[in-house]
Amino acid sequence: MNPIYYLTVLILILAVIFLIRAKLSNRKGQVYFLKPLATILIIFLVAYSWANKQNYSGAYSQWILIALILSLGGDLALMLDKFRTGLILFLVVHLIYAATFSIFSGWHMSPWYVLLSIGFLSAAIYLYLYPGLDKFKVPVLLYVLAISYMLNRAIATGFGQDFSRGQVGLIAVGAGLFYLSDLILAINRFRHPFNYHPLCLTFYYAGQLMIACSTILW
């Protein structure tokens, strides 16, 4: 296996650790450097494997790369307190992920209990957030629908034959971590602020990394 991958992941882990420390200590200069750096490192992994033909599918890698680049835009928007812009960008990211997982896994349906579980959880989350949403009631509803659909389509890849078991695990767990990170951020912003919410960045970057790694031929 190319050592570039392992080196990039190591640098990413260090960047996220220092990013969380910077967020907790309110060191904005470090946050402005480390937050985009972490996403750029994940983008590099996909781009490098694609350029060197060390990936499962060029087309699949292209769409994951587009979603990651839009994620970088979303990261920058949230970092600069442009919440609505960040929300829109990440909503598009989730729709791209959902469509990409579906197209390349053959549009297989997930079982009814997966649909029911995700639907119940997402509805409960939205109802919990609702009292604090104010003018964001509709945007957050659309976002919850998008990320729920993305998670469902990620899990559905396990019921087709197009992705390997390893890819399915990376996609499903990665999507789940992404979903969890957004849940924590939403609770912190709209319902119950808590001091250690930057720790959820571990879920966000781990989720994005796992989805990115699903493109690589390990």
Say how far apart CA 111 and CA 115 lie, in whole Å.
7
Ranking 59-63, 104-108, 123-127 by mean pLDDT, the lowest is: 104-108
Rg of the chain over Cα atoms, rounded to whole angstroms, equals: 17
Whole-number average pLDDT of the chain: 94
How is the chain split into domains, by residue range?
A: 3-213
Say how far apart CA 42 and CA 212 lie, in whole Å.
7
β-bridge mates for residue 201, sequence order:
none
pTM of the model: 0.94
Q: How far is CA 178 from CA 4, 83, 127, 160, 169, in A?
A: 25, 17, 20, 22, 14
Say how far apart CA 95 and CA 97 lie, in whole Å.
5
pLDDT the model gives residue 57: 82
CA 72, 90, 55 angle in degrees (round to 5)?
A: 60
pLDDT digits (tens, 9 = 90+) for 15-46: 999 999 999 999 999 999 999 999 999 999 99
Task: Please report which confidence band the pLDDT of residue 111 belongs to, taking 50, 70 and 90 as the band edges.
Answer: confident
Question: 79 is written with which tokens?
Answer: 């970092």
CA 33, 217, 150 angle in degrees (round to 5)?
A: 65
